[in-house]
């Protein structure tokens, strides 16, 4: 049997890039064909992608796995956050500026009017949610996301802080402390929901602001899969994985159940039967997966406006417009990642870690 650890290149677990490709394609299809399907020139088959948004929790699971891998290969708390800055900030800065300028010029119908406000461009650089800025400045709905897809970055940042703080506080007992902390937080959250405490104004605001708790089961599951990846015979990790599965499907939603089964099955195949998903470990999937972060940042509002501006050219075959934009956005993101992002990351890495390298 092919060992899953073989599926690595340049310290990357390449099969995870295949997972990222599945996640980003799922989100693209959801946004272009369902969420923003043109009401005048509707795209064929839009309803088939109703649940493509489940690609986002799949990204959360991948992050849970990858961050644990990163923590084990990082010496200290500051170095970890330097790496996160190098990975996240340059592309967020560039994507935000591109989005702002593009919408300013081409959003003729003001589909995304809030994205024309300079304040929302500036706040997007911080990764922080609009409701936090409203709280700070005492305003109500004054700030908004430059691109609503950015919402998922804030839970990611919270997860990075939670996991890195626990890890560097006590590396030796990290696994135990992390699992206890996560289940404690989840216990408090579910109890609050059970007793309707989440309907109290300040509790509701706190949960909406520190919203990692809503998505923590996915991050936790990804982390536990990493532990299982390191020790395939750990029944304890398997037990906790089953618990996260139950928590995610607590609402007894069939859609949630099917989506979670697919995600979990992919991770189990990766760990125990990698040959079954070997098709994901190819150059095209890997390149799209590597560029999926930038593609995620630019795809939604730019893509929707672009599609709306050209869809009449393809009617009655309107579906060609979103398919064409998916291809163009993907190619652009891959080229950006190879030609720009990697070079910026190399320069920043040399600068931020130069003292340790001297």
d(CA 232, CA 74): 23
User: What local confidence, expressed as pLDDT, does residue 274 receive?
Assistant: 94
User: What local confidence, expressed as pLDDT, does residue 358 receive?
Assistant: 47
User: Is residue 8 very low, low, confident or very high in pLDDT (cuts 50, 70, 90)?
Assistant: low
Question: Is 2's pLDDT higher than 80?
Answer: no
Using the Cα atoms of residue 358, residue 347, residue 159 and residue 141 in order, give the sign of their dihedral.
Answer: positive
The pLDDT tens digits for 59-86 are 999 999 999 999 999 999 999 999 999 9
CA distances from 163 to 183, 190, 262 (A): 13, 21, 25
Give the single-character DSSP code of 124.
H
d(CA 222, CA 34): 28
The pLDDT tens digits for 182-208 are 999 999 999 999 999 988 989 999 999
Question: Is 1's pLDDT higher than 70?
Answer: no
User: Is residue 10 very low, low, confident or very high in pLDDT (cuts 50, 70, 90)?
Assistant: low
User: What local confidence, expressed as pLDDT, does residue 355 receive?
Assistant: 58
d(CA 67, CA 22): 19
Prediction pTM value:
0.94
CA atoms within 13 Å, Cβ hemisphere of 2: 14
The pLDDT tens digits for 204-244 are 999 999 999 999 999 999 999 999 999 999 999 999 999 99
User: What local confidence, expressed as pLDDT, does residue 9 receive?
Assistant: 55
Q: Which residues contact 183 (CB under 8 A, 6 or more apart)?
A: 243
The pLDDT tens digits for 138-161 are 999 999 999 999 999 999 999 999
Q: Which of 25-29, 251-255, 333-337 has the lowest mean pLDDT?
A: 251-255
The pLDDT tens digits for 275-301 are 999 999 999 999 999 999 999 999 999
User: What local confidence, expressed as pLDDT, does residue 12 receive?
Assistant: 79
User: Is residue 44 very low, low, confident or very high in pLDDT (cuts 50, 70, 90)?
Assistant: confident
């Amino acid at each position: 049997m092919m060992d899953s650890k073989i599926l690595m290149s340049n310290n990357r677990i390449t099969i995870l890039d295949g997972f990222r490709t599945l996640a980003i394609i799922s989100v693209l299809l959801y946004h272009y064909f369902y969420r923003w399907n043109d009401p005048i020139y509707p795209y064929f088959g839009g309803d088939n992608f109703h649940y493509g948004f489940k690609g986002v929790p799949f990204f959360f699971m991948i992050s849970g796995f990858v961050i644990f891998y990163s923590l084990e290969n990082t010496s200290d708390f500051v170095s970890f956050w330097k790496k996160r800055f190098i990975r996240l900030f340059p592309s967020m800065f560039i994507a935000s500026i591109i989005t702002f300028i593009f919408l300013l010029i081409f959003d003729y119908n003001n589909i995304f009017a809030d994205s024309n406000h300079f304040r929302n461009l500036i706040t997007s650089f911080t990764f922080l949610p609009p409701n936090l800025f409203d709280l700070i400045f005492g305003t109500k709905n004054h700030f908004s996301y430059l691109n609503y897809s950015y919402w998922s970055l804030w839970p990611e940042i919270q997860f990075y802080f939670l996991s890195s703080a626990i890890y560097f506080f006590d590396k030796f007992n990290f696994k135990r402390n992390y699992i206890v902390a996560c289940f404690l937080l989840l216990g408090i959250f579910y109890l609050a929901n059970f007793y309707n405490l989440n309907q109290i104004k300040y509790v509701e605001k706190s949960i909406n602001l520190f919203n990692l708790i809503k998505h923590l089961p996915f991050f936790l599951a990804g982390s536990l899969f990493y532990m299982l990846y390191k020790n395939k015979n750990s029944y304890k990790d398997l037990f906790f994985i089953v618990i996260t599965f139950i928590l995610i499907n607590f609402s007894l939603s069939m859609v949630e159940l099917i989506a979670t089964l697919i995600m979990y099955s992919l991770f189990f195949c990766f760990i125990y039967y990698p040959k079954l998903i070997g098709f994901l470990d190819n150059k095209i999937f890997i390149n799209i997966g590597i560029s999926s972060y930038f593609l995620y940042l630019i795809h939604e509002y730019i893509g929707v406006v672009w599609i709306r501006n050209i869809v009449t050219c393809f009617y009655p075959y309107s579906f060609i417009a979103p398919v064409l934009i998916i291809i163009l956005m993907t190619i652009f993101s891959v080229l950006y990642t190879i030609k720009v992002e990697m070079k910026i990351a190399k320069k920043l890495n040399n600068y931020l870690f130069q003292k340790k390298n001297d």
